[in-house]
A and B are shown apart, each in its own frame.
Chain A
Amino acid sequence: MTGSAILEIKDLRVSYNGTRAVDGISLIIEAGEIFGLLGPNGAGKTSTLSAIEGLVRPEAGNVKVTGIEMRGAPPSARANIGVQLQATSFQSELTIFQIIRLYAGLYGVPVSNGKLRSLLAEIHLETEAGRRFGQLSGGQQQRLALLLATIHNPPLVLLDEPTAGLDPQARRQLWSRIEELRRRGHSILLTTHSMEEAQAVCDRVAIIDYGKIIDIDAPEELIKKYENDPRVRKAARGQVTLDDVFVGLTGNALRD
C-alpha cells in the first residue's frame, strides 16, 4: 500500500462482449479523501465501480482496498468497502428494521433493538422502522442506503450517483452527510453527473471518457489548468466553470 492509500487501482481494464468499458484506469484515493469520478453516460464510471466492488472480473489490472487485492480475497476486500449502488433495491417484503438487521449481520455487526432505533434516529427514520423500502420517499431511501453502506464503519465508501433524482434540499442534506463521513475518517469515491456536486464536496475529481482518465485534479485546479483551452473557451458561457471544463474535454456529442 502506498502511504495512506485506501484504494489503489492500477491499469484497470474491463470489457463486455469484446467492447472495452474501462481502458487502463489507474488512481489512488487517500485516507479521508472525497474523490469524484466524472464522465458522460457510458464513459466507464459504473464499470470502474463494479470492478472495485468485485462485481465484474477485470480483464487486466488490479484493485486493492486497504492493501487487500479484490481478486485475491474478495470477502475481505468487500468487508472494507461500503457501497451505495445507483439503483438500490432490497427485498420488497422486508421492513426497514429487518433490512438494517440483515446488512448488519452480513458485516458481522451485532445491533440490538436499541441500537437499531438510534441508527434510525440518526437518519430521521425512527418512525419508519416498520415500513418497507418501497414506501419511503427518494430522499429517505438514499439516507437508508447510505446508513447501510456505512453500518460496518468501512474505510472506503463507494457512492454511485448518490443524489440522482433528489430535490435540492435532500441533495444538500446528503452532501452534509458525505462530508460528515469524511470527518469520521472514511474515504469516499463517488460518481456524479453534477459538476455542482463535484465542486461542492470533492477534494479531487477524475474526468473519464471512453474508459480512460483525461485528467485528475482538484476541481479548482482543473478550472485553472483548462480555462484558456480553446475547447473549454468554446463551451464556456461567461466565467469558466467545472461544467465548461467537463464539456470542453468530453465534447458536446450526446451519449447513450
Chain B
Amino acid sequence: MLTFTLRRLSLFIFTMLVLTLLSFSLSFLFPGDTVINHSGQINATATELAHLNQVYQMDKSIFNQYGAYLTHILNGDFGQSMASQSPISNEIIKLLPATIELSLVALLIAMLVGIPLGFIAAIKHNKTSDNVILSLAMLGYSIPVFWLGLLAILVFSIGLGWLPSAGQISLLFEIEFVTGIQFFDILLSDSPYKWQAFRDASAHMILPACVIALAPATIFIRLSRASMIEVLAASYIRAARAKGLSFQQIIFRHAIRNALIQIIRHVGLQFANLVTIAMVTEVIFSWPGIGRWLIDSIYQRDYTAIQSGLLVLSCFIFIVHILTDFIYAALNPLARGNNHGS
C-alpha cells in the first residue's frame, strides 16, 4: 500500500506540474500582455505595472517566471478577475462548493440508478429486459444535455409547475455562507425556517441533478452490466451454485461485491465527463457554480478567470480521480501491485 501511495503521490505532483504549466502558458497564448493576463489588473498604472513585472519576474528567464507564477498559485493568489476586478480566489471559494455539491449529488443519482439497472440487465442477459435497458441506455447516452435540460424545464417547470427551473435556493431564505455547500449551510444555520429552506433547496436540486445524471447513469449501466456478466461467468459462481446456494444468495453475497469493485475503478474516469455535462447544465439552470462562471468569463474575455477556472476544475477532477483510485486499491488488493506505465 505504501508504494501504491507513493506512486499516486508522484503522479499527483506530476499532474499538478503539467496543469500549472498549461495554465501558465495560457497567459502567453491569450491575446494581450502576459503579466496582465497573469494578474488580471487591466487598469494598472505605470508604477503598478512595474511592480507586477517585478513580482512575476518578467525580466528574468522563463523558468523564473514559472517559479514566480507557481509561488503565487501556491499562496492562493490567482490574480484578479478582469471583468469584476475582485480576487479570483474569493470567487472560486464562493462558486466551487455549489459545483461540487451538484456534481456529487448527480454522481450519486447516476450510480444509484445506473448500477442496479446494469445488474438487472446482466442477470437477464440476452432477454427482453436486457435489450430494453440497453436501448434506453443508448438513447440516454445520445441525448444532447442542453436539449434535455430545456425539455425538462418545459415539462416539469412550465408545463406541470412541480419544480423550480433556475437557481440554487429561493431568494426568500437567507442562509449564511459557511461551507458553501448549501445543504450543510442550511443544517448549520439557526433559522426557524430551516426545514422549509431544506425542502426548497432539494426541489431546486432535483432537475439539474437528474439532467446531469442521465448520461453518466447510462455509462454505469454498461459498465455494471459488463462486469456482472464477467463475474457470473466465473468459476466461483459455478462453485457456489454447485454448493446449492439459492440464486439470491449467489447474487447478493458473491456476485454483486465482486462486480462493484470493477465499477468503482471507472467512477473517477466518468467524473470528468460528468463535470463537463455539469458545466453546460449550470448555464441552463442558472446554477451559481464554477462552470457557469467559466463560460461567462469566456464571453467577457476574462482571461485570468479562464486560466484559474481551468486549473481549479481540473484539479478537482483529478483529486476525485485519485481518491477513487485509493478506494479501489483499498477494496481490491490485486490492484496495489500494478506497476507504472502499464
Whether A associates with B in a native complex is: no
